[in-house]
Amino acid sequence: MERDLIGYGNNVPQIRWPGDAQIAVSIVINYEEGSERNPLDGDPYHESNGEVPSPVPPAQRDLFNESFFEYGSRVGVWRLLDLLDKYQAKATFFCCALALERNPEVARQVVARGHEVCGHGYRWEEYHLMEREEERQAIAKTVASITETCGERPLGWFTRYSSSVNTRELVAEEGGFIYDSGSFNDDLPYFVTVREKPWLVLPYSMETNDARFWRGGLVSTGDFYEYLKDTFDCLYEEGRTRPKMMSVGLHCRIAGRPARSRAVERFLQYASSFPKVWMARRVDIARWWLEHYGQG
Protein backbone atom coordinates (compact mmCIF):
# COMPACT_ATOMS: atom_id res chain seq x y z
CA MET A 1 0.00 0.00 0.00
CA GLU A 2 2.54 2.57 -1.14
CA ARG A 3 1.34 6.14 -1.63
CA ASP A 4 1.06 7.57 -5.13
CA LEU A 5 1.04 11.36 -5.15
CA ILE A 6 1.40 11.62 -8.93
CA GLY A 7 -1.33 9.46 -10.47
CA TYR A 8 -2.24 10.42 -14.01
CA GLY A 9 -0.83 13.90 -13.43
CA ASN A 10 -0.86 15.99 -16.59
CA ASN A 11 -1.38 12.89 -18.72
CA VAL A 12 -5.05 12.19 -18.08
CA PRO A 13 -5.93 9.25 -20.33
CA GLN A 14 -8.08 9.81 -23.37
CA ILE A 15 -10.78 7.25 -22.70
CA ARG A 16 -14.22 6.58 -24.14
CA TRP A 17 -17.29 5.68 -22.14
CA PRO A 18 -20.24 3.85 -23.74
CA GLY A 19 -22.13 6.13 -26.12
CA ASP A 20 -19.22 8.58 -26.04
CA ALA A 21 -20.49 9.84 -22.68
CA GLN A 22 -18.63 12.80 -21.22
CA ILE A 23 -19.21 11.60 -17.68
CA ALA A 24 -19.98 8.36 -15.86
CA VAL A 25 -22.17 9.11 -12.84
CA SER A 26 -22.02 6.46 -10.13
CA ILE A 27 -24.83 6.67 -7.57
CA VAL A 28 -23.97 4.73 -4.43
CA ILE A 29 -26.55 3.83 -1.78
CA ASN A 30 -25.03 2.72 1.52
CA TYR A 31 -27.25 0.10 3.16
CA GLU A 32 -26.00 -0.41 6.73
CA GLU A 33 -29.10 -0.29 8.92
CA GLY A 34 -29.15 -3.08 11.49
CA SER A 35 -25.43 -3.81 11.22
CA GLU A 36 -24.19 -0.90 13.33
CA ARG A 37 -22.83 -1.26 16.88
CA ASN A 38 -25.44 -2.30 19.42
CA PRO A 39 -25.26 -4.01 22.84
CA LEU A 40 -28.03 -6.28 21.54
CA ASP A 41 -25.43 -7.80 19.22
CA GLY A 42 -22.84 -8.20 21.94
CA ASP A 43 -21.01 -4.93 21.31
CA PRO A 44 -19.51 -3.24 24.38
CA TYR A 45 -20.94 0.13 23.34
CA HIS A 46 -23.67 1.55 21.13
CA GLU A 47 -23.20 3.29 17.78
CA SER A 48 -21.91 6.84 18.20
CA ASN A 49 -22.29 8.04 14.63
CA GLY A 50 -25.83 9.38 14.55
CA GLU A 51 -28.06 12.28 13.62
CA VAL A 52 -27.37 14.04 16.92
CA PRO A 53 -24.72 13.57 19.66
CA SER A 54 -25.77 10.86 22.09
CA PRO A 55 -25.99 11.56 25.85
CA VAL A 56 -26.63 7.86 26.55
CA PRO A 57 -23.77 6.05 28.37
CA PRO A 58 -21.80 4.04 25.78
CA ALA A 59 -22.58 0.63 27.28
CA GLN A 60 -26.35 1.20 27.22
CA ARG A 61 -28.68 0.92 24.26
CA ASP A 62 -29.43 4.29 22.65
CA LEU A 63 -33.01 3.84 21.51
CA PHE A 64 -33.18 7.16 19.66
CA ASN A 65 -29.99 6.37 17.76
CA GLU A 66 -31.36 2.94 16.90
CA SER A 67 -34.50 4.57 15.54
CA PHE A 68 -32.46 6.90 13.30
CA PHE A 69 -30.98 3.82 11.66
CA GLU A 70 -34.33 2.03 11.52
CA TYR A 71 -35.79 4.85 9.45
CA GLY A 72 -33.34 3.98 6.70
CA SER A 73 -34.48 0.36 6.43
CA ARG A 74 -38.17 0.99 7.09
CA VAL A 75 -38.68 4.02 4.85
CA GLY A 76 -35.56 5.62 3.39
CA VAL A 77 -34.36 2.74 1.26
CA TRP A 78 -37.75 2.45 -0.44
CA ARG A 79 -37.90 6.17 -1.15
CA LEU A 80 -34.46 6.06 -2.78
CA LEU A 81 -35.26 2.89 -4.74
CA ASP A 82 -38.39 4.54 -6.13
CA LEU A 83 -36.44 7.68 -7.08
CA LEU A 84 -33.92 5.58 -8.97
CA ASP A 85 -36.76 3.84 -10.78
CA LYS A 86 -38.36 7.18 -11.65
CA TYR A 87 -35.21 8.39 -13.41
CA GLN A 88 -34.22 4.96 -14.72
CA ALA A 89 -30.89 5.24 -12.92
CA LYS A 90 -29.03 2.12 -11.91
CA ALA A 91 -26.99 2.35 -8.72
CA THR A 92 -24.51 0.42 -6.64
CA PHE A 93 -25.56 -0.52 -3.12
CA PHE A 94 -22.72 -0.73 -0.60
CA CYS A 95 -24.35 -3.41 1.55
CA CYS A 96 -23.44 -4.74 4.97
CA ALA A 97 -24.34 -8.41 4.88
CA LEU A 98 -26.04 -8.47 8.29
CA ALA A 99 -28.25 -5.54 7.29
CA LEU A 100 -29.52 -7.55 4.30
CA GLU A 101 -30.03 -10.64 6.46
CA ARG A 102 -32.30 -8.58 8.69
CA ASN A 103 -34.33 -7.17 5.80
CA PRO A 104 -34.28 -9.80 3.04
CA GLU A 105 -36.97 -8.00 1.05
CA VAL A 106 -34.52 -5.14 0.49
CA ALA A 107 -31.93 -7.66 -0.70
CA ARG A 108 -34.39 -9.10 -3.20
CA GLN A 109 -35.60 -5.72 -4.45
CA VAL A 110 -32.14 -4.24 -4.96
CA VAL A 111 -31.28 -7.08 -7.33
CA ALA A 112 -34.74 -7.29 -8.92
CA ARG A 113 -34.60 -3.59 -9.83
CA GLY A 114 -31.26 -4.03 -11.56
CA HIS A 115 -28.86 -2.53 -9.04
CA GLU A 116 -25.46 -3.82 -7.98
CA VAL A 117 -24.73 -5.20 -4.52
CA CYS A 118 -21.18 -4.33 -3.45
CA GLY A 119 -19.57 -5.83 -0.35
CA HIS A 120 -19.52 -3.36 2.56
CA GLY A 121 -18.44 -5.78 5.26
CA TYR A 122 -20.47 -8.24 7.30
CA ARG A 123 -21.25 -5.46 9.75
CA TRP A 124 -20.75 -1.69 9.62
CA GLU A 125 -17.43 -1.94 11.40
CA GLU A 126 -13.86 -0.72 11.12
CA TYR A 127 -11.81 -3.21 9.15
CA HIS A 128 -8.68 -1.14 9.68
CA LEU A 129 -8.79 -2.27 13.33
CA MET A 130 -8.78 -5.98 12.46
CA GLU A 131 -5.89 -8.38 12.40
CA ARG A 132 -5.16 -9.85 8.98
CA GLU A 133 -6.75 -13.27 9.54
CA GLU A 134 -9.80 -11.76 11.24
CA GLU A 135 -10.32 -9.50 8.24
CA ARG A 136 -9.89 -12.40 5.82
CA GLN A 137 -12.62 -14.34 7.62
CA ALA A 138 -14.91 -11.31 7.69
CA ILE A 139 -14.57 -10.85 3.92
CA ALA A 140 -15.38 -14.50 3.27
CA LYS A 141 -18.35 -14.35 5.64
CA THR A 142 -19.65 -11.26 3.85
CA VAL A 143 -19.43 -12.93 0.44
CA ALA A 144 -21.23 -16.05 1.64
CA SER A 145 -24.03 -14.08 3.31
CA ILE A 146 -24.69 -11.67 0.43
CA THR A 147 -24.66 -14.53 -2.06
CA GLU A 148 -27.30 -16.28 0.03
CA THR A 149 -29.61 -13.28 0.54
CA CYS A 150 -29.24 -11.73 -2.92
CA GLY A 151 -28.68 -14.76 -5.13
CA GLU A 152 -25.48 -13.28 -6.52
CA ARG A 153 -22.07 -12.54 -5.05
CA PRO A 154 -20.54 -9.07 -4.71
CA LEU A 155 -17.88 -8.15 -7.25
CA GLY A 156 -16.71 -4.95 -5.54
CA TRP A 157 -15.61 -4.04 -2.01
CA PHE A 158 -15.71 -0.98 0.24
CA THR A 159 -15.56 -0.88 4.04
CA ARG A 160 -16.45 1.64 6.73
CA TYR A 161 -14.23 4.74 6.64
CA SER A 162 -10.89 3.17 5.77
CA SER A 163 -9.45 -0.06 4.50
CA SER A 164 -6.61 -1.70 6.36
CA VAL A 165 -3.18 -2.07 4.81
CA ASN A 166 -4.17 -5.69 4.12
CA THR A 167 -7.64 -5.16 2.63
CA ARG A 168 -6.78 -4.83 -1.05
CA GLU A 169 -4.55 -7.88 -1.03
CA LEU A 170 -7.13 -9.95 0.89
CA VAL A 171 -9.93 -8.94 -1.49
CA ALA A 172 -7.79 -9.89 -4.49
CA GLU A 173 -6.89 -13.21 -2.86
CA GLU A 174 -10.53 -14.00 -2.04
CA GLY A 175 -11.25 -14.50 -5.74
CA GLY A 176 -14.33 -13.29 -7.59
CA PHE A 177 -13.87 -9.60 -6.89
CA ILE A 178 -12.93 -7.35 -9.79
CA TYR A 179 -12.50 -3.97 -8.06
CA ASP A 180 -12.45 -2.08 -4.79
CA SER A 181 -13.37 1.53 -4.01
CA GLY A 182 -11.00 2.07 -1.10
CA SER A 183 -9.66 5.46 -2.15
CA PHE A 184 -10.78 9.06 -2.68
CA ASN A 185 -7.85 10.16 -4.83
CA ASP A 186 -8.96 10.51 -8.45
CA ASP A 187 -11.75 11.26 -10.93
CA LEU A 188 -11.07 8.11 -12.94
CA PRO A 189 -10.48 4.42 -12.26
CA TYR A 190 -6.88 3.30 -12.16
CA PHE A 191 -4.75 0.22 -11.62
CA VAL A 192 -2.41 -0.64 -8.79
CA THR A 193 -0.18 -3.68 -8.49
CA VAL A 194 -1.29 -6.40 -6.08
CA ARG A 195 0.96 -9.44 -5.89
CA GLU A 196 2.57 -8.46 -9.20
CA LYS A 197 -0.79 -8.24 -11.01
CA PRO A 198 -2.87 -5.20 -11.98
CA TRP A 199 -5.78 -4.52 -9.64
CA LEU A 200 -8.60 -2.08 -10.44
CA VAL A 201 -9.56 0.76 -8.10
CA LEU A 202 -12.73 2.81 -8.62
CA PRO A 203 -12.30 5.91 -6.43
CA TYR A 204 -15.18 6.96 -4.17
CA SER A 205 -15.95 10.38 -2.67
CA MET A 206 -16.73 11.77 0.76
CA GLU A 207 -17.39 15.30 -0.49
CA THR A 208 -20.30 14.52 -2.82
CA ASN A 209 -21.72 12.46 0.02
CA ASP A 210 -24.75 13.02 2.24
CA ALA A 211 -22.71 12.00 5.31
CA ARG A 212 -21.75 15.67 5.46
CA PHE A 213 -25.21 16.38 6.88
CA TRP A 214 -24.23 14.38 9.95
CA ARG A 215 -20.58 15.36 10.11
CA GLY A 216 -20.94 19.05 9.44
CA GLY A 217 -20.37 21.17 6.35
CA LEU A 218 -23.91 21.05 4.99
CA VAL A 219 -26.91 22.85 6.43
CA SER A 220 -29.58 22.80 3.74
CA THR A 221 -30.71 20.45 1.01
CA GLY A 222 -30.05 23.32 -1.38
CA ASP A 223 -26.40 23.26 -0.35
CA PHE A 224 -26.22 19.55 -1.13
CA TYR A 225 -27.90 19.91 -4.51
CA GLU A 226 -25.69 22.85 -5.51
CA TYR A 227 -22.57 20.96 -4.51
CA LEU A 228 -23.60 17.96 -6.58
CA LYS A 229 -24.57 20.20 -9.49
CA ASP A 230 -21.30 22.14 -9.44
CA THR A 231 -19.29 18.92 -9.29
CA PHE A 232 -21.25 17.51 -12.22
CA ASP A 233 -20.85 20.73 -14.24
CA CYS A 234 -17.08 20.80 -13.75
CA LEU A 235 -16.55 17.15 -14.65
CA TYR A 236 -19.02 17.28 -17.55
CA GLU A 237 -17.20 20.26 -19.05
CA GLU A 238 -13.82 18.58 -18.62
CA GLY A 239 -15.34 15.45 -20.12
CA ARG A 240 -15.67 17.11 -23.50
CA THR A 241 -12.02 16.28 -24.08
CA ARG A 242 -11.20 13.90 -21.20
CA PRO A 243 -14.25 11.94 -19.96
CA LYS A 244 -14.52 11.68 -16.18
CA MET A 245 -16.30 9.78 -13.41
CA MET A 246 -18.43 11.23 -10.59
CA SER A 247 -19.42 9.36 -7.42
CA VAL A 248 -22.44 10.34 -5.32
CA GLY A 249 -22.65 8.72 -1.88
CA LEU A 250 -26.05 8.39 -0.20
CA HIS A 251 -27.35 6.72 2.95
CA CYS A 252 -30.89 5.48 3.45
CA ARG A 253 -31.18 7.07 6.91
CA ILE A 254 -29.83 10.41 5.64
CA ALA A 255 -30.76 11.08 2.01
CA GLY A 256 -33.77 8.81 2.43
CA ARG A 257 -35.43 11.50 4.59
CA PRO A 258 -38.15 13.50 2.81
CA ALA A 259 -36.41 16.87 2.43
CA ARG A 260 -33.00 15.44 1.63
CA SER A 261 -34.47 13.10 -0.95
CA ARG A 262 -35.67 16.18 -2.83
CA ALA A 263 -32.05 17.26 -3.30
CA VAL A 264 -31.28 13.81 -4.71
CA GLU A 265 -34.25 14.03 -7.05
CA ARG A 266 -33.26 17.49 -8.25
CA PHE A 267 -29.80 16.19 -9.04
CA LEU A 268 -31.07 13.11 -10.87
CA GLN A 269 -33.42 15.31 -12.87
CA TYR A 270 -30.63 17.75 -13.69
CA ALA A 271 -28.00 15.19 -14.65
CA SER A 272 -30.41 13.16 -16.77
CA SER A 273 -31.34 16.27 -18.77
CA PHE A 274 -27.90 16.32 -20.41
CA PRO A 275 -26.79 14.24 -23.39
CA LYS A 276 -23.79 11.96 -23.11
CA VAL A 277 -24.29 11.08 -19.45
CA TRP A 278 -23.79 7.46 -18.41
CA MET A 279 -25.62 6.63 -15.18
CA ALA A 280 -23.73 3.47 -14.37
CA ARG A 281 -23.32 0.87 -11.68
CA ARG A 282 -19.77 0.61 -10.45
CA VAL A 283 -19.51 -2.96 -11.65
CA ASP A 284 -20.39 -1.79 -15.18
CA ILE A 285 -17.71 0.90 -15.02
CA ALA A 286 -15.25 -1.71 -13.78
CA ARG A 287 -16.11 -4.17 -16.52
CA TRP A 288 -15.84 -1.47 -19.19
CA TRP A 289 -12.45 -0.38 -17.86
CA LEU A 290 -11.13 -3.92 -17.65
CA GLU A 291 -12.33 -4.71 -21.17
CA HIS A 292 -10.94 -1.57 -22.81
CA TYR A 293 -8.02 -0.52 -20.57
CA GLY A 294 -7.27 -3.77 -18.80
CA GLN A 295 -3.52 -3.93 -19.17
CA GLY A 296 -2.98 -1.69 -16.16
- Give residue 76's domain range: 18-293
Q: How far apart are CA 154 and CA 144, in angstroms?
A: 9
Residuewise pLDDT in 10s, the chain (296 residues): 789 999 999 999 999 999 999 999 999 999 999 999 999 999 999 998 777 778 899 999 999 999 999 999 999 999 999 999 999 999 999 999 999 999 999 999 999 999 999 999 999 998 999 999 999 999 999 999 999 999 999 999 999 888 899 999 999 999 899 999 999 999 999 999 999 999 999 999 999 999 988 876 666 899 999 999 999 999 999 999 999 999 999 999 999 999 999 999 999 999 999 999 999 999 999 999 999 998 65
Buried b (16+ CB within 10 A) or exposed e, 66-98: bebbebbbeebbbbbbebbeeeebbbbbbbbbb
pLDDT for position 64? 92
Residue 4 lies in a domain: no
Domains identified in the chain, total number:
1
pLDDT for position 83? 98
Q: Vertex 107, ends 101 and 108: CA angle to 5°?
A: 125
Residue 12 lies in a domain: no
pLDDT for position 48? 84
Residue 126 lies in a domain: yes
Residue 259 lies in a domain: yes
Cβ pair 181, 26 in contact under 8 A: no
pLDDT for position 101? 98
pLDDT for position 51? 74
Side chain identity, residue 193: T
Residue 107 lies in a domain: yes
Is the pTM here over 0.85, yes or no?
yes
Best CA proximity match to 156, nearest among 243, 225, 91: 91
- For residue 239, CA distances in Å to 12, 16, 97, 236 come to 11, 10, 36, 5
Residue 235 lies in a domain: yes
CB-CB neighbours of 220 under 10 Å: 12
CA 170 to chain centre: 19
CA 284 to chain centre: 14
Residue 3 lies in a domain: no
**Terminal CA-to-CA distance of the chain, rounded, Å?**
17
Summarised one tens digit per residue, pLDDT across range 31-58 is: 999 999 999 999 999 998 777 778 899 9
pLDDT above 70 covers what percent of the chain? 98
Residue 135 lies in a domain: yes
* CATH number of residue 168's parent domain: 3.20.20.370
pLDDT for position 219? 67
